[in-house]
Amino acid sequence: MFIILPFVVLLSTLPLIEGTCRSFDNYYILGELVTTPPVEQDCDPADICTYVSLDIPAFAVGSFAGCSGDVHMRLIVGILSKRKDLHDGVQRFLQKHNMSLTYPKFSRLASYGDQLHRFKTFSGEGKIFLHFSNQGKKYSEPAINFKPPASGEKPAKCGTDTGKRDCFEGYCAMVEIGSVSKDGKSQVSKKIQDCPTRVYDELYLISESLPENDFNQALLDDLKKVGTICAQRTTHTELFKGGASSFYWHVDCFVPPDSPTPIQPAAFIFHTPHNYFSFPIYKDGK
């Protein structure tokens, strides 16, 4: 995404000494370009040198390195904590392997180094590459080096339920969702208009029923498609007609001065053939 300073070349110009790791930042996150020149960083004796390169659509791309304790803090606090689906998804992956994001258990990831790990997020497929080495050892030619863009984004002024907000991602997001309720007796809907990252967070919480909601499971299972389309800064409407599993969603992610495209929400009409139960029949709301 953006042009990187020739950190890889610089990494090989200075010799490392025992007890240090080469530290640098060269990544983009939420519209901001984070760059620091490579320096030698004194490490705790228990640390190992750690290199991270990642690519998460509509969120972050680039590389950074340093002592494992410091890299852990940059990864957890500076990156994963900024999106709920990312933090929880990585935590679930680690728990399957009896590990945790809590340091020092994080250091056990060394056995998963030199591999490209892929994982699902609400904005598309994420990728992360890790390399671990002993202190004082040079890593001058990374096997994978995701490139950030040449510059950060210009903040976009986006409308929300409470007024205008600066969105540092550089674009705005609007999502409308609706479905037959879980008991099949009514229709539930919601509109979300905010910065993209806030929209991803809310979609994730809805999909996880945190807090519990009344959307049917068919819609909840389909919500990741919404975020993937938003990451492409485009618009799309989806309608599924399936009785009690019926749902619709509309997403419009755009760069001002463009504005969101309004839609006519789908309507689900409920027919009661006798006194004991009812079932939904889809009817176009136009």
Domain shared by 179 and 102, yes or no: no
Question: pLDDT per residue over 112-151, tens digit each?
Answer: 889 998 888 999 999 999 999 999 988 888 999 999 999 9
- Position 278 in a domain: no
Q: CA quadruple 221, 184, 280, 250: dihedral positive or negative?
A: negative
Mapped onto helix, strand or coil, the DSSP state of residue 189 is strand
Domain shared by 89 and 46, yes or no: yes
Question: pLDDT per residue over 57-75, tens digit each?
Answer: 999 999 999 999 999 999 9
Question: pLDDT per residue over 234-276, tens digit each?
Answer: 999 999 998 899 999 999 999 998 777 767 677 776 554 444 3
Domain-terminating residue out of 133, 167, 197: 133
- Position 274 in a domain: no
Cis status of the peptide bond prior to 257, with omega within 30 of 0: yes
Domain shared by 108 and 216, yes or no: no
End-to-end CA distance of the chain: 41
- Position 232 in a domain: yes
- Position 208 in a domain: yes
Longest dimension (CA), the chain: 83
Mean pLDDT, residues 38-62 taken together: 95
- Position 34 in a domain: yes
Domain shared by 127 and 160, yes or no: no
Mean pLDDT, residues 85-114 taken together: 79
Report how many domains make up the chain.
2
Confidence of residue 21 (pLDDT cuts 50, 70, 90): very high
pLDDT for residue 286? 39
Domain-terminating residue out of 133, 166, 194: 133
pLDDT for residue 119? 86
Domain shared by 120 and 188, yes or no: no
- Position 241 in a domain: yes
* Residue 68: both structure tokens together: 């494992």
Q: Which domain holds residue 53?
A: 13-133
* Residue 120: both structure tokens together: 């699902």
Domain-terminating residue out of 66, 101, 133: 133
Mean pLDDT of the chain: 85
* Residue 197: both structure tokens together: 């990252």
- Position 284 in a domain: no
pLDDT above 60 (res 6): no
* Residue 241: both structure tokens together: 């007609």
Higher pLDDT, 186 or 103: 186
